[in-house]
Amino acid sequence: MSEAIGPNLRLLCSHYRSIAEVCRKLGLNRAQFNKYLSGQSRPTPYNLKRICDFFGVEEYELGLPAEQFAHLVGARGGESGQPAAGDPLLELLRPLRDHSSSLARYCGYYFEYSNCMSVPGTVLLSLVHLWEEDGNFLFERQERQERSASSDVQGEDWVRCRYLGAAFQLQDRLFLIDYESLTLNEMSQTILIPSYKSRITRLNGLKTGVSSGDRRNPACTRVVWEYLGSEINRISAYRQVRLYRPDDPRIDADIRQRLAVAPLRDGLFEIE
């Protein structure tokens, strides 16, 4: 096993609240796990399999160079990388919070499906996390695409985007505004129809923004949020984040139907 196992394990653990939580869920001794993190000791084959199964990675992947592994599973910013009390976006939108309904029932993880703005004819699957912090409802959305823009090619050459934003419910719509936190050159807005069912499954809506392509064309697409749960295997979910062909069997018929574009006059789109 490569010497990179320590840094790679620390990156995987950063997707959870604490090392203690990881050890508790794995059923491993904290002191022994700390030795794995520091590189003082290596997991036994049995413990290595348990660790990899828990995080959703392969054994050989855990031994990849740290930078390559980070691209594979999605580097996660620390607390300072999340919108906080002094974030300019939150300060700008603070007046809306006083008129916004609570989004507590919507907190959790979602797969977001949308017609890709920069690669027409493909479906972009993103991973979204919505949470509450100090009375604000914040979210992180992660995207990645192969540089070749081919949905059949698996490789290390990914273009990765990480959006941070704030969410509000005003009357009968959910409004989400975010910015791309890695390059600081893009903003988008998503409008979702709330669910009035006791159990949230999927939310319909629209996303507007500017294509990341060279022409930076403005675009609008239907979007579907699929609820995953309040706690998920983040690494396993992130590995599904990519571009897909619309007819890919991993995208079910209901999602495809919801994403079907019905253009109306003035460039608007109908929402059912």
C-beta separation of 162 from 181 below 8 A: yes
**Where exactly are the structural domains of the chain?**
5-73, 84-267
pLDDT tens track for 188-227? 999 999 988 888 999 999 999 876 666 677 888 999 999 9
C-beta separation of 165 from 185 below 8 A: no
C-beta separation of 116 from 122 below 8 A: yes
Pairing of strands 158-170, 242-244: unpaired
- Predicted local distance difference test score (pLDDT) of residue 170: 85
The number of residues in the chain equals 272
- Predicted local distance difference test score (pLDDT) of residue 158: 64
What the block records as the tokens of 21 is 């939580």
| Block mean pLDDT (10 aa), the chain, length 272 | 82 84 90 91 90 84 84 55 53 64 91 88 94 87 70 53 88 90 81 89 91 72 95 86 92 91 43 38
148-173: buried (b, 16+ CB within 10 Å) or exposed (e) per residue?
A: eeebeeeeeebeebbbbbbbbbeeee
Report the distance separating Cα 105 and Cα 90, nearest Å: 21
Query: Across the strands, what pairs with 203?
Result: 225
214-225: buried (b, 16+ CB within 10 Å) or exposed (e) per residue?
A: eeeeebbbbbbb
- Predicted local distance difference test score (pLDDT) of residue 267: 39
Report the distance separating Cα 189 and Cα 216, nearest Å: 16
- Predicted local distance difference test score (pLDDT) of residue 86: 54
Asked if 5-73 and 84-267 have one fold, the answer is no
**Residue 105 has what DSSP assignment?**
G
CATH number at 5-73: 1.10.260.40
CATH number at 84-267: 2.40.128
pTM for this prediction? 0.70
C-beta separation of 225 from 192 below 8 A: yes
Report the distance separating Cα 206 and Cα 225, nearest Å: 11
Count of CA atoms in the C-beta half-sphere (13 A) of 257: 5
